[in-house]
Structures are given as structure tokens and as C-alpha cells.
Amino acid sequence: MAKKPTVYKNYIDGKWVASATGKTFENVNPADTSEIVGIFQDSDERDVNAAVAAAKKAYRKWRLVPAPKRGELVMKLGLWLMENKERLARDATREMGKVLAETRGDLQEGIDMALLCAGEGRRMYGETTPAELPNKFAMTVRQPLGVCGLITPWNFPMAIPTWKMMPALVCGNTVVIKPATLTPLTVWNLVKGAEEVGIPKGVVNYVTGSGRRVGDPLTKHPDVSLISFTGSTEVGRSINLACATDFKRVGLEMGGKNAVIVMDDANLELALDGVLWGAFGTTGQRCTATSRCIVQKGVYDKFLKALTRRAKALKVGNGLDESVEMGPAVDASQLKTDLDYIAIGKKEGARMVCGGKRLKGGDYDKGFFIEPTIFADVTPDMRIFKEEIFGPVLSVVPFDTFEEGIEIANDSLYGLSGSIYTQDVNRAFAAMRDIQTGIFYVNAPTIGAENHLPFGGVKQTGNGHREGGHEALDLFSEWKAIYVDFSGTLQRAQIDTDDVVKVD
């Protein structure tokens, strides 16, 4: 007899509670749809209102906890993640499909972000600066914003929630998290850890459900001071417009159409490793995935042949199998998107050199598996060149000169990540300067960002804010300028300055 799936509840004001709707939804393993990973609350605006009220109440005391002490609790949560890393990684693979090596990396990002932000509790620097009048002191300090709404995606179900939650907490904010409906268990695990390490009730709240019934009311709630969102550009645009109504702060991390440039002088074996990993890691389901490979004509045929051979050899399957190199698409909708874009590429006249089909037979019939797919001779006017697919579909584009390669790479609405493979240091530095992205790599793939550096993009990838590094504090805090006048008299800035340089 099959084990009855666990029912998971919302976490509001320090209590695990059922949704006001009384409804639930199933979370299914994309590699084996016969497995129900868990049953979660199908919440609505009433649950959001309760969570925001709890966060607003908790904020009054949490903001007064010294930042080093808030950092200590964040550190305890990071250590809890470290202790439970393997169990949580397996849960993440079960609910979103990517291979265990990658979900372990996902967990490690969460651990790293917690430890980084714990330190920021003792490094939340402002500045002191000379005042223009005598006997007057001037300084700046960071202050929290209030209640932060965190709307997180499914592809990095632990890393991205921690990118948002850890800096928010250490800055003195309280949070309401809405996880993606495809990956609520991993965020449930994170929130459970917060409870176990003693983060006070109401500081962290967790509400599951759809974007329409949970995300929209969270975005529009008058007591929410900030929305931090990672997801599609289309949804990000609607969130930005909604937040503009009452001038909420909003941080957006959205789409990408990332390019690797492979020069004639590149170390081709290294470039092959990087492009293969960048294009097909996480089944191409990364905002930083390599979806365009721009190859100089002198090595184009040789590189394409080797890349095709390597892609065909990738082992696709259930990510819990340690020998598997690429897992399934996350759900039926994403699989359909991948197949639709493959059909578009064929219609546009791109040359498909491998892949292109859904995998069938045996265990493949249980999940949403697709072959790693490569299109050659892609041109910049094609939709598969321009539009984000978010699947294991790579476009390979030939070019002549270095300048042309840069131009092709920059021909995108997005600007998240870019890369160049070359042994020419002059070209490497020119590419660093000229490629229009927020992240750039030399002789490395477009994926692999580290938590202590800022993460984010330009153009329609984001709205200028960054996650990761100490720069994340800029999103989750605001500056206050403070003046202390100890002269005992009224001193008028910009007016009573003429006599201050006189010496008796």
C-alpha cells in the first residue's frame, strides 16, 4: 500500500496553520509523476492578510534586536541547513528534478548566503563625515524597511529564497514568503529550520498558493514595504506596475538569453566543457543558462561537431540517480514550451544537429524528459535566438570578427550573464567592458555566480537592484542621514558658514 503523502501547512505568526480556503494542491515529482511529494495549502488573500499582520506586529520588536544578534540567528539557520544538507537536497531533487549534485549546490548556496549575512550583522557600515559647521557631527546609518514580500521561483528552490530572506532578516525586516507552487517543500524546509533555530514568531511567515491568489494580494498589500521577485519578465513587469501605485520598493530578477563567445584561439576542450554545462545543467532551466553559443568561423565546424557528440552522450534521467547528468523538465507546461520552441526553430530554418524529441519508454514515461537539443547556423532574426526558452535548447551562431561577436552577443532584450573563451588578454578585457550584462566570465560558462558578489542584470533582466554580496543590503535597507549639533546654538547649514574659517 502506497504511503499517504504528507500534508504541509502555512506558517503564520509562529504557527503551522491550514489555509482559510480549506483547499490544497499536490506537489508532484517531475521525474516520476506517480510520486506525490506532498500536499500544500491552496491559500488566498485571507491567508496573506494574516501573514502580513503577523509580520507587521513582529517587526516592532525585531527591528530593535541588535544587528549582530539578528546575524547570530541567521548563522544558526545556516548551520542547520548544513547539518540537514543531504536530506534537503534529496527533497529538492524530488520536487523540481535537477540532479543531486546540483541540489546539493543549491543547498550550499543557501548555507553560504546565511553565513555571509551573519557576518554582515557586524559589518552593517554607514559612514561618518565632517560637517560644514563647527561642533556638529554627521553620519549615515542603515535602517530596515518593514514587511518584505518574497516571491521565489522553482529552479533554485533553496538558493534564491535564502538570497532574499537572509539579508532581509539581518537588516531588521520581517518577511512573508510565497514559494513557487512547483517547489513549496524546499521553502517549507527552510522555514521549518527558521522555527527550529529560534527565529521569533511572526518574523518569518510562509504562505503557499498561486500567483493570482497569493502573489497578487501580497504585492498590493498596503502594509508590505518591499517586494522581491525572481521569475519571468512578463510577471516582473506586472509586479513593478502594481508596486508603483503606492511606491513600494521592488527588486526584480527576471529573464536571460545568455551568450558564450568562443574565439578561434580558445582552449576548445575547456570551452566544450563550459558550454555543455552552461546549456544543459539544470536542464537549461536557469536564468543564467547558456542559450546562445557564438563561435568564430575558424573553429565553428570543429567545435560544433565535438559539442554535438558530447550532448548526445549526456545521460538523462531521474536526478536521484547519481550517474544521471540531466534531469527532466520541471512540469508538463515547461516540456511543452521546450517542444514548441524546437518546432519554431525547425520552421525558421535552423539546422537541428541533435535532440529535439521527448524521451519515451520505460522510466521516461513517468516524467517530463527531453533530449538535449542543439540548433546550428542560427541567425539573430530567429525567435530561438531572441526569446528565453528556459530549457535544454542551445542555439549556435557563427561569426567572423571579434567586433561582430560582441555585437551578436549584445543583440538581446536581456542582459544577465555573458562569457568569452579566448587566450588573448586584450580581447578578454575588451569583452569585459563591452558585453552588456550584469555578470561576465572569462574562460568559464555563463553559470557559476558566487554569493559574495552581486547578482543581477541589465536591460529587461532586472531593475538595477542586486542580490548576493553586501550589495543585497541596499535592497533590504534604507539610508538615514543623522546630524548631531553639540554647539549649544542654532547653526544654519549653508547660511552660517561665512565666519567658520575665521581664527582669532
Q: Which domain holds residue 149?
A: 46-254+462-481
Q: Assign 165 to helix, strand or coil.
A: helix
CA atoms within 13 A on the CB side of 49: 4
**Helix (H) or strand (E) run with residue 308 in it:** helix 297-312
Q: Whole-model pTM? A: 0.97
**Which of 472, 13, 27, 5 lies closest to 206 in space, CA to CA?**
13
Is 455 among the domain residues? Answer: no
pLDDT tens for each residue of the chain, 504 residues long: 568 999 999 999 999 999 999 999 999 999 999 999 999 999 999 999 999 999 999 999 999 999 999 999 999 999 999 999 999 999 999 999 999 999 999 999 999 999 999 999 999 999 999 999 999 999 999 999 999 999 999 999 999 999 999 999 999 999 999 999 999 999 999 999 999 999 999 999 999 999 999 999 999 999 999 999 999 999 999 999 999 999 999 999 999 999 999 999 999 999 999 999 999 999 999 999 999 999 999 999 999 999 999 999 999 999 999 999 999 999 999 999 999 999 999 999 999 999 999 999 999 999 999 999 999 999 999 999 999 999 999 999 999 999 999 999 999 999 999 999 999 999 999 999 999 999 999 999 999 999 999 999 999 999 999 999 999 999 999 999 999 999 999 999 999 888 776 766
Q: Are 200 and 62 in contact (CB under 8 A)?
A: yes
CA atoms within 13 A on the CB side of 380: 14
**Taking phi first (over 0 means left), then psi (-120 to 50 degrees means alpha), and beta for anything else, what does residue 153 get?**
beta
Indicate whether 126 and 196 sit together in one domain: yes
Indicate whether 76 and 146 sit together in one domain: yes
d(Cα 145, Cα 203) in Å, to the nearest integer? 13
d(Cα 183, Cα 180) in Å, to the nearest integer? 5
CA atoms within 13 A on the CB side of 248: 26
Is 235 among the domain residues? Answer: yes
d(Cα 145, Cα 215) in Å, to the nearest integer? 19
Indicate whether 438 and 475 sit together in one domain: no
**Does the annotation count 287 as an active-site position?**
yes
Which position has the grid cell 566544450? 272
Task: Spot the catalytic one: 243, 287, 293, 354.
Answer: 287
Report phi then psi at 88, rounded to 5: -70, -35
d(Cα 25, Cα 128) in Å, to the nearest integer? 53
Question: ∠ at Cα 409 (408, 412), nearest 5°?
Answer: 90
d(Cα 219, Cα 227) in Å, to the nearest integer? 6
Number of domains in the chain: 2
d(Cα 389, Cα 43) in Å, to the nearest integer? 29
Indicate whether 262 and 241 sit together in one domain: no
Indicate whether 411 and 265 sit together in one domain: yes
Indicate whether 94 and 145 sit together in one domain: yes
Q: Assign 83 to helix, strand or coil.
A: helix
Cα–Cα distances in angstroms (integers) from residue 51 to residues 7, 116, 198, in the given order: 19, 27, 18
- Kindly state the DSSP code that residue 490 receives in the 8-state scheme: -
Task: Spot the catalytic one: 95, 109, 253, 371.
Answer: 253
CATH number at residue 181: 3.40.605.10
Give all strands of the β-sheet with 128-130 in edge-to-edge order.
128-130, 136-144, 477-485
**Helix (H) or strand (E) run with residue 10 in it:** strand 10-12
**All residues at 6 or more sequence positions from 381 whose CB lies less than 8 Å from its CB, including other chains:** none
d(Cα 59, Cα 212) in Å, to the nearest integer? 26
Is 433 among the domain residues? Answer: yes
**Which of 195, 145, 189, 139 lies closest to 167 in space, CA to CA?**
145
Indicate whether 245 and 321 sit together in one domain: no
Indicate whether 383 and 468 sit together in one domain: no
**Does the annotation count 348 as an active-site position?**
no
Which position has the grid cell 547653526? 491
Indicate whether 278 and 233 sit together in one domain: no
CATH number at residue 383: 3.40.309.10
Is 99 among the domain residues? Answer: yes
**Which of 288, 286, 283, 233 lies closest to 419 in space, CA to CA?**
288
Q: Are 130 and 138 in contact (CB under 8 A)?
A: yes
Indicate whether 212 and 263 sit together in one domain: no
- Kindly state the DSSP code that residue 158 receives in the 8-state scheme: T
Amino acid identity, residue 494?
Answer: Q
